[in-house]
């Protein structure tokens, strides 16, 4: 594909997803991609297979590859499926049950038979030691060394493979954690250790302990997988360095990934967000809503200034219909996104309020939606899309799957139409509207959580199901413009190739503005700088490294901090008045007004080290657009109009720079179909991106 | 224009999303820990008649009916003819709001082209409202803090500065309280903006069509659930500690066609101290308990709540009239669901849980520099409020939840965050082995908490506990949960309720109550007993006495457990 700039080197991006393993090979600025089925028993098999396929397409040898960047759902799945190693946890006496007591609340208020997810480690694998550090970092009770030695013998005898250590306030003083680690290493030389003060040095014990335990729990498995992968790639000739995409949207070395495997959680979706950010950069967009919809879930993320928003806590393995609070918190730097159970395979039913409900239950690929004709009898989103005319039964997935509309209609009638007195068409409309509304609501709540107004945003849609739903979502959200880039089907793997090497170091050091200490702050930043730089250096020994400084501030008494970006000179020469001014500026922007008379405080400090990426070449919008008119049409239901319309059918291949389409239309490609409702028109930019706008806005058309 | 069924489906979803957004905006901008950490808040949207159409699902069942009833009080007191765009109304009236002065309710009218089309309301629990502070010790509501009758906070956009000055002058943390009030105002504005967008998108001029759709569907769904039950009458009762003397809660439950009645005749009278409950709060928890058991999936609105009718004699403790003290109305309010379940179990077997800890195990600390000797210069004053939970009752087919709130849904605060707020040291916060009542399904465990002050400090502990003398009772052969314990580490006894001094160097040791068991312990699955012993959920003594494990079995399990074996 052309994006105007010829990049040096041969790089491979590989994404292991739930169903497919995607590979994208970049050779001299051109990209070659493929999708193969994920091989659960040995995920490296699919990678090898995909690598050989793209090498063949590009006529190169694995030896020619200079860099492999990899993202995977394996870490996430190991946590969801509880396939980790025999792991022990050591904590402060009196706090054995932090990970089991959680927030002491129920995430669903009305279910009398609610079950809370089991903690990652049962109670008999959680051990306590006499010691105590205060919030200030001062030692209140010294570590009981003799008891620790005894415990070490016991753990050795019990043959634990991995041990997590999490002590109260260890983010403020890690001495006791380090001492325990020393004692364990002496007695168990081969055991893997995870310390809360290095895995996630942040305040709030539940999140920190859980993150540390998650790291320990998946470490033996992930380390073994990564070692095996490295070996297999070398055997196949690809002896180049292998890097991993982490949840925060950057790249780390294979060795760092093996030490902190918890940082790989949700690395695939993070790649998707990076992909969207790259498209945003090409099109010079500052406010973007990234919309990634696949077979099972949809991911929504805000991208401002061409950088995905990041957060410090993430919830993995939600056990109760994706409900907030039903999973386990992982506090690591992560791209902030909402994931909801809405994909092409999401199943619908009518509840006792006579309301149509969709997802999170999914038909998956087996049996799949009813129209696949593989035994599915319940209506899925894809069935509704087919009945509404958005999909062509004879030309789905490049013609590889013959769809059966009658089976969709039967499923819709049996599960929705008969209950609500609707025909198949109305039931399909209702189903699609509910799933679109669910996604729109998730986007709205995510925006409000971030103090943002979506009407100023441009949507970037990718993933197999997104182009079918994107324009309708825009109508619902009041978004005027939506881009569907090329390569949307393998967006995450492309994203890996666009990501920088990066590492974010974090510290929880509580400091009210009245106790502002420039010397302490300066030292703190120096330490974090060293830590972050060291990590990035381990990936690339020569590249230029840039640093970003950020603190989290709030008014004393508030619980929600806001991120406040700082400059290098603030880290070198901290000045209280400047820090406060920065905070007030950002607070006002988010919430309208500052709060007079309240003291501000700093809770978390961070330094992000990264290798700057070359900005992508700008995509050019056509100066004039010449509309394509085709004679081929299909009836397609337009929900905004509440009626069927005749939509033109246009092949995406036929759309070159400067051509355009007026809705209603369907732009068809192998992996997906872009639905253009009557309210929208589309044009093609120089990079092949389809640019969808409200009619009468944007480019001037010739017609 | 005829609006399609699909459009109404979308609009209903949208309104539910609007109130969730409204609640989220409040959490983001609030100051009180009770709101932003623990989720003690609610938000709702109403039609022009004041009927609630949707309510955000937050941690506070206590606000359910209270919020539904609140807006009509505002319409009546302010008068429709006096309502204008830009107005904001306020109250903390315990009887017309949500049960105590610490809950501030803000109502905002919504106008479209000059027509009043609906209302937004929200409520939040603020940390301080003046008076004696949050605790049991008031003898009347006058001592419990500043009272704000239903009135205008802003008139056509203009905030009443006299009112603001009055509020500021009467509370301990004026900036924080005014900040919270503005957060509530903002939260309604966010809701209103979304409602206006929705009405424009669907071309609505009023909310009558969508109201009818929501209320009709909710009413018929609720009636369907009620009419599926066998009609009947049953009584439920529970005795709890109270303050001066034990309190009897009594309810008669009548299931008939199209409605369920709960009548609290026979319940104890009002107490001298602040544990009395305005009827609106009793209604909320009674209704919550019934909805959980009978119609859990139906969203809260005027129609889905209407078939649940709740009555209580005036000046019984569950229908305390002005000026009874009501600050800690949650203690008895949180016991209402277990009382309802006692009756409901006789009508609907195998549906409701055994009794649980019931009320939250909250306490507030007032820390200060020690006065018995020289205090270090850095010693300071601080107010620290901590929410905690005991165990919930075992369910008909599942164990109770360990250290998890029911019926309240609020969260605890992280220990590390609490220790950053004030000079307090929490020495222990962990599950209380053996506190879950034995049964075929075991009650949830309570928790142990040991709390002291940092070096150089002493403190008052404001206790808000029940179940010291009246632990949770088991159902169908299940055994009682463990009672609440509280004492100082040198053995000094402490009371379950009220403000008590703790000298320098002393630690308060508390055991929060466990939930009760369900079914006979001998019917418990052996593997579950073995696991409970291995995990230390039960003690060796319980394993032997309640579940009949032999000494050898116990030794074998404990030895396996200590090597980290799977159970």
- Contact assignment for A124 to B567 by CB distance below 8 Å: yes
The pTM (predicted TM-score) of the whole model is 0.88
Give A128's strand partners. Answer: A91
Query: Residue A7 pLDDT > 70, yes or no?
Result: no
The answer to whether the beta carbons of residues A643 and A434 sit under 8 Å apart is no
CB contact under 8 A, B403 and A555: no
Largest pairwise CA distance in chain A: 86
Which has the closest alpha carbon to B106: B88, B87, B84, B82?
A: B88
pLDDT digits (tens, 9 = 90+) for A232-277: 999 999 999 999 999 988 888 898 899 999 999 988 889 999 999 9
Is-contact B553 B532, C-beta < 8 A?
no
Torsion A293-A431-B5-B191 (CA) sign: negative
Shortest CB distance from B20 goes to which of A123, A132, A445? A445
pLDDT at A597: 67
Please report how many Cα atoms fall inside a 13 Å half-sphere around the Cα of residue B166, on the Cβ side. 11
Strands A665-668 and A643-651: parallel
- Cβ A57 vs Cβ A34: under 8 Å: yes
Phi, psi of A498 (to 5 degrees): -95, -10
Name every chain A residue with its beta carbon within 8 A of the beta carbon of B450: 94
A295 CA to chain B: closest CA distance, Å?
A: 23
Q: What is the pLDDT of residue A424?
A: 94
- Nearest CA among A183, A177, A225 for reference residue A200: A177
* Closest partner CB to B25 (pick from A115, A438, A448): A448
- How would you write A634-686 as a 3-class SS string? EEEEECCCCEEEEEEEEEHHHCCCCEEEECCEEEECCCCEEEECCCEEEEECC
**A172, A623, B26, B339 from A562: Cα distances, Å:** 21, 41, 15, 44
Q: How far separated are the first and last CA of chain A, in Å rounded?
A: 30
Cβ-based neighbour number of residue B374 at 10 Å? 10
Residues of A in contact with B59 (CB under 8 A): 105, 109
Contact state of A558 with B5 under an 8 Å Cβ cutoff: no
**pLDDT for A447-501, tens place per residue?**
866 667 788 899 999 988 899 999 999 999 999 999 999 888 788 899 999 888 8
Please return the burial class of A544, using the count of CB atoms within 10 Å of its CB with bins 0-12, 13-18 and 19+: exposed
Residue-wise pLDDT for A502-543, tens only, equals: 888 888 788 999 999 999 999 999 999 998 998 888 777 788
Read off the pLDDT of residues A302-331 as tens digits, 9 standing for 90 and up: 999 998 988 878 888 777 766 778 889 999
Joined together, the tokens standing for residue B434 give 């053996």
Nearest CB among A204, A448, A476 relative to B416 is that of A204
Q: What is residue A507's DSSP assignment? A: E
- In chain A the domains, ranked by start, together with CATH numbers, are 1-65 (3.30.420.40), 80-223 (3.40.50), 502-610 (no CATH), 626-694 (no CATH)
Query: Who among A115, A355, A558 is closest to B9 (CB)?
Result: A355
Weakly modelled stretches of chain B, pLDDT under 70: 1-2, 59
Assembly ipTM: 0.93
CA gap A91, A93 in Å, rounded: 6
CA of B271, closest CA in chain A: separation in Å?
30
**Nearest-CA neighbor of A330 among A265, A272, A271, A269?**
A265
Chain B residues touching residue A105 (CB < 8 angstroms): 39, 59, 389, 404-405, 409-412
pLDDT given for residue A595 in this prediction: 67
B536 and A124 in contact by Cβ < 8 A? yes
Neighbours of A190 (CB within 10 A): 6
**Taking CB atoms and an 8 Å limit, are B420 and A203 in contact across chains?**
yes
Residue for token pair 């290098």: A568
Q: Do A112 and B33 touch (CB under 8 A)?
A: no
A168 to B13: CB separation less than 8 angstroms, yes or no: no
Q: Any idea which residue has 């209580």 for tokens?
A: B312
> Helical H runs in A450-515?
466-477, 491-498
Q: Tell me if B420 and A97 make a contact (CB, 8 A cut-off).
A: no
- Does position A157 have pLDDT exceeding 60, yes or no? yes
Whole-number pLDDT of residue A321: 63
- A466-477 helix and A424-449 helix, angle to the nearest 10 degrees: 70
Place of tokens 């909805």: B291
Cβ atoms A528, A606 nearer than 8 A: yes
Beta bridge partners of A443: none
Contact B351 A596 (CB under 8 A): no
CA nearest to A316, candidates A376, A261, A382:
A261
Do A510 and A516 form a contact (C-beta atoms < 8 A)? Answer: no
With 70 as the cut, is the pLDDT of residue A4 above it? no
pLDDT at residue A188, rounded to an integer: 95
Q: How confident is the model at residue A630 (pLDDT cuts 50, 70, 90)?
A: confident
Task: Give pLDDT tens digits for A367-426.
Answer: 789 998 989 999 999 999 999 999 999 888 767 778 999 999 999 999 999 999 999 999
* Of B218, B19, B208, B190, residue with least CA distance to B118: B208
CA dist., res. B567 & res. B564, Å (int): 9
Q: What's the gap in Å between the CA of B77 and the closest CA on chain A?
A: 31
- pLDDT tens digits for range A589-617: 666 557 666 789 998 899 999 988 777 88
Tally of CA atoms within 13 A in the half-sphere of B396 that contains its CB:
9
């Amino acid at each position: 594909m052309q994006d105007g700039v010829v990049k040096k080197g041969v790089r491979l991006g590989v994404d292991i997803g739930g169903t497919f393993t995607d590979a994208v090979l970049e050779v001299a600025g051109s990209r070659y991609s493929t999708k193969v089925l994920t091989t659960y028993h040995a995920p490296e098999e699919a990678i090898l297979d995909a690598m050989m396929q793209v090498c063949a397409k590009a006529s190169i040898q694995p030896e020619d590859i200079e860099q492999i960047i990899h993202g995977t759902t394996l870490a996430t799945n190991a946590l969801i499926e509880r396939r980790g190693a025999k792991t022990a946890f050591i904590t402060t006496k009196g706090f054995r049950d932090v990970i089991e007591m959680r927030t002491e609340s129920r995430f669903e208020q009305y279910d009398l038979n609610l079950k809370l997810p089991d903690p990652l480690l049962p109670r008999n694998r959680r051990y306590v030691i006499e010691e105590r550090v205060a919030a200030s970092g001062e030692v209140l009770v010294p570590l009981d060394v003799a008891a620790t030695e005894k415990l070490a013998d016991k753990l050795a005898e019990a043959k634990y493979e991995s041990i997590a250590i999490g002590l109260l306030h260890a983010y403020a003083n890690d001495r006791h954690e380090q001492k325990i680690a020393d004692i364990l290493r002496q007695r168990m030389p081969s055991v893997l250790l995870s310390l809360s003060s290095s895995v996630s040095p942040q305040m709030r014990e539940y999140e920190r302990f859980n993150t540390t335990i998650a790291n320990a729990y998946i470490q033996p498995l992930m380390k073994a997988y990564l070692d095996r992968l490295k070996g297999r790639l070398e055997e196949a000739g690809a002896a180049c360095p292998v890097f991993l995409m982490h949840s925060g949207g950057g790249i780390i070395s294979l060795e760092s990934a093996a030490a902190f495997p918890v940082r790989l959680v949700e690395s695939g979706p993070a790649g998707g967000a990076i992909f969207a950010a790259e498209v945003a950069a090409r099109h010079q967009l500052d406010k973007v809503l990234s919309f990634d919809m696949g077979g099972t879930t949809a991911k929504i993320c805000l991208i401002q200034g061409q950088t995905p928003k990041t957060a410090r806590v993430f919830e993995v393995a939600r056990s109760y219909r994706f409900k907030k609070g039903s999973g386990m918190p992982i506090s690591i730097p992560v791209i902030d996104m909402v994931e909801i159970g809405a994909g092409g395979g999401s199943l619908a039913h009518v509840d006792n309020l006579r309301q149509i409900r969709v997802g999170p239950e999914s038909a998956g690929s087996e049996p799949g939606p009813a129209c696949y004709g593989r035994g599915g009898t319940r209506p899925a989103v894809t069935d509704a899309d087919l009945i509404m005319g958005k999909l062509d039964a004879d030309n789905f997935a490049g013609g590889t799957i013959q769809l059966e509309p009658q089976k969709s209609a039967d499923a819709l009638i049996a599960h929705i139409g008969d209950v609500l007195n609707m025909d198949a068409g109305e039931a399909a409309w209702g189903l699609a509207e509910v799933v679109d509304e669910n996604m729109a609501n998730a986007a709205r709540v995510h925006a409000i959580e971030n103090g943002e107004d979506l009407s100023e945003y441009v949507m970037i849609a990718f993933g197999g199901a997104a182009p079918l739903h994107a324009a309708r979502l825009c109508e619902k959200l009041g978004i005027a413009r939506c881009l569907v880039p090329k390569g949307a089907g393998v967006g995450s793997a492309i994203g890996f190739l666009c990501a920088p090497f990066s590492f974010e170091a974090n510290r929880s050091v509580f400091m009210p503005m009245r106790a502002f200490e420039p010397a302490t702050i300066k030292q703190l930043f120096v330490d974090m700088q060293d830590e972050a730089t060291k990590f990035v250096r381990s990936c690339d020994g020569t590249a230029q490294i840039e640093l970003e400084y950020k603190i989290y501030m709030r008014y004393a008494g508030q619980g929600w901090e806001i991120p406040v970006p700082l400059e290098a000179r603030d880290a070198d020469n901290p000045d209280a008045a400047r820090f406060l001014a920065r905070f007030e500026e950002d607070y006002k922007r988010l919430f309208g007004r500052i709060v007079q008379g309240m003291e501000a405080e700093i809770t978390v400090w961070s330094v992000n080290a990264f290798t700057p990426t070359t900005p992508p070449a700008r995509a050019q919008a056509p100066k004039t657009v010449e509309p394509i008119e085709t004679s081929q049409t299909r009836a397609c239901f337009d929900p905004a109009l509440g009626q069927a319309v005749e939509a033109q059918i246009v092949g995406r291949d036929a759309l070159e720079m400067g051509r355009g389409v007026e809705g209603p239309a369907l732009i068809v490609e192998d992996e997906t179909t872009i639905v253009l409702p009557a309210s929208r028109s589309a044009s093609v930019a120089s990079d092949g991106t389809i640019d969808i706008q409200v009619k009468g806005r944007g480019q001037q058309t010739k017609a | 224009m005829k609006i399609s069924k699909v459009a109404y489906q979308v609009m209903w979803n949208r309104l539910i999303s609007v109130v969730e957004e409204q609640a989220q905006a409040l959490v983001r901008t609030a100051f009180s820990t009770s709101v932003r950490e623990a989720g003690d808040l609610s938000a709702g949207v109403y039609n022009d008649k004041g009927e609630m159409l949707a309510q955000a699902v937050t941690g506070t069942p206590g606000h359910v009916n209270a919020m539904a009833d609140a807006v009509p009080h505002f319409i009546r007191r302010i008068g429709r003819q006096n309502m204008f765009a830009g107005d904001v109304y306020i109250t903390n009236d315990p009887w017309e709001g949500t049960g105590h002065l610490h809950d501030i309710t803000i109502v905002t009218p919504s106008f479209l082209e000059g027509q009043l089309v609906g209302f937004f309301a929200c409520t939040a629990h603020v940390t301080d409202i003046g008076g004696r502070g949050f605790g049991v010790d008031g003898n009347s509501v006058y001592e419990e803090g500043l009272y704000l009758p239903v009135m205008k906070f802003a008139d056509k956009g203009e905030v009443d500065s006299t009112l603001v000055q009055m509020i500021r002058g009467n509370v301990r943390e004026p900036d924080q309280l005014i900040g919270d009030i503005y957060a509530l105002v903002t939260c309604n504005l966010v809701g209103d903006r979304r409602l206006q967008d929705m009405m424009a998108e669907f071309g609505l001029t009023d909310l009558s069509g969508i109201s009818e759709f929501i209320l009709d569907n909710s009413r018929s769904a609720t009636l369907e659930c009620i009419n599926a039950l066998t009609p009947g009458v049953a009584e439920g009762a529970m005795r709890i500690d109270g303050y001066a003397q034990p309190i009897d809660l009594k309810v008669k439950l009548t299931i008939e066609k199209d409605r369920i009645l709960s009548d609290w005749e026979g319940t104890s009278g009002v107490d001298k101290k602040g544990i009395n409950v305005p009827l609106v709060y009793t209604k909320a928890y009674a209704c919550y308990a019934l909805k959980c058991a009978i119609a859990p999936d139906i969203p809260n609105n005027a129609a889905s709540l209407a078939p649940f009718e709740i009555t209580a004699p005036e000046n019984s403790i569950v229908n305390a009239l002005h000026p009874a003290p009501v600050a800690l109305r949650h203690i008895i309010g949180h016991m209402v669901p277990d009382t309802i379940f006692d009756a409901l179990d006789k009508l609907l077997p195998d549906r409701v849980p055994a009794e649980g800890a019931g009320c939250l195990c909250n306490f507030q600390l007032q820390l200060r520099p020690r006065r018995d000797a020289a205090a270090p210069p850095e010693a300071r004053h601080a107010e620290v409020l901590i929410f905690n939970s005991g165990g919930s009752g075992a369910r008909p087919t599942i164990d109770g939840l360990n250290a998890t709130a029911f019926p309240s849904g609020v969260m605890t605060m992280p220990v590390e965050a609490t220790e950053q707020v004030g000079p307090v040291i929490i020495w222990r916060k962990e599950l209380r082995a053996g506190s879950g009542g034995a049964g075929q399904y075991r009650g949830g465990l309570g928790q142990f908490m040991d709390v002291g002050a940092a070096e150089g400090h002493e403190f008052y502990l404001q206790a808000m506990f029940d179940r010291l003398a009246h632990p949770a009772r088991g159902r169908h052969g299940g055994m009682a949960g463990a009672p609440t314990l509280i004492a100082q580490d040198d053995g000094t006894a402490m009371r379950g309720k009220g403000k008590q001094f703790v000298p320098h160097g002393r630690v308060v040791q508390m055991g929060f109550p466990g939930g009760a068991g369900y079914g006979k312990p001998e019917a418990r699955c052996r593997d579950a007993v073995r696991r409970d012993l291995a995990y230390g959920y039960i003690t060796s003594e319980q394993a032997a006495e309640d579940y009949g494990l032999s000494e050898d079995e116990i030794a074998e399990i404990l030895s396996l457990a200590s090597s980290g074996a799977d159970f």
